[in-house]
A and B are shown apart, each in its own frame.
Chain A
Amino acid sequence: DGGITQSPKYLFRKEGQNVTLSCEQNLNHDAMYWYRQDPGQGLRLIYYSQIVNDFQKGDIAEGYSVSREKKESFPLTVTSAQKNPTAFYLCASSLRAARGSYNEQFFGPGTRLTVL
């Protein structure tokens, strides 16, 4: 059963703590992405990776960090520097992120992070 998994579905953390969100895919996709979703704001790109050991900042990268040590995995760390971390976080992947590509982008089920 192929797809993207994100865990956990709900996550609670105290203010000032770093937290890491998991994203795994078994679709053999090269490109992976992290988005943040807030009510009325749509999907905003945090980071993306086109290949293992490489990643680029998106529109709202401040306060976040990522790694891409394996093709299947793209964890996102929400650091204490992120001022408003409470949000719904979505991971996605596509076969390629190449310029002008038509590759479909698949999304995971999301993780809802609440910082208390």
Chain B
Amino acid sequence: GENVEQHPSTLSVQEGDSAVIKCTYSDSASNYFPWYKQELGKGPQLIIDIRSNVGEKKDQRIAVTLNKTAKHFSLHITETQPEDSAVYFCAARGNTPLVFGKGTRLSVIA
């Protein structure tokens, strides 16, 4: 089955700097890769997703890149703000329900 690895597990950045979170997946059949943001005590919320026929997608300060050959995808947050502090999860779906990485706790220091 699918296995998703996520790095780093924790990340601290200064406000205004960029943050990058990386994930790898194992199943070449996976074709949908969402990213979720989870604030303390709440359910995860989708922030951006990418399909396997696209290499990059942007939404304001957030971008996701996908390298199908290497089986990895990354989340990029530019001009970070304190409200970006949360836990971020990557996920992959192919022939099975979504499989999640273990999460990255992002802290943006003002």
Contacts and interface: CB of A to CB of B under 8 A. Distances in A.
Contact of A107 (B29, B32, B41, B43): B43
A2 interface: no
B100 to A, nearest CB: 4
A43 B93 CA distance: 14
Interface in B45-75: 45-46, 49, 51
B34 A105 contact: yes
Q: Give the top 7 A-B pairs by smallest Cβ distance, nearest first.
A: A107-B43, A42-B102, A43-B100, A42-B100, A102-B32, A107-B44, A99-B95
B29 to A, nearest CB: 8
A104 interface: yes
A107 B89 contact: no
Interface residues of B, number: 26
Nearest to B95: A99
Interface in B80-97: 89, 93-95, 97
Given A48-B97, A104-B49, 12 more contacts: A33-B97, A35-B100, A42-B100, A45-B98, A97-B97, A99-B94, A105-B34, A105-B98, A106-B46, A107-B36, A107-B43, A110-B42
A108 B46 contact: no
A58 B9 contact: no
B31 interface: yes
A23 to B, nearest CB: 11
A40 B27 CA distance: 23
Contacts of A100: 29, 31-32, 93-95
Contacts of A58: 97
A63 interface: no
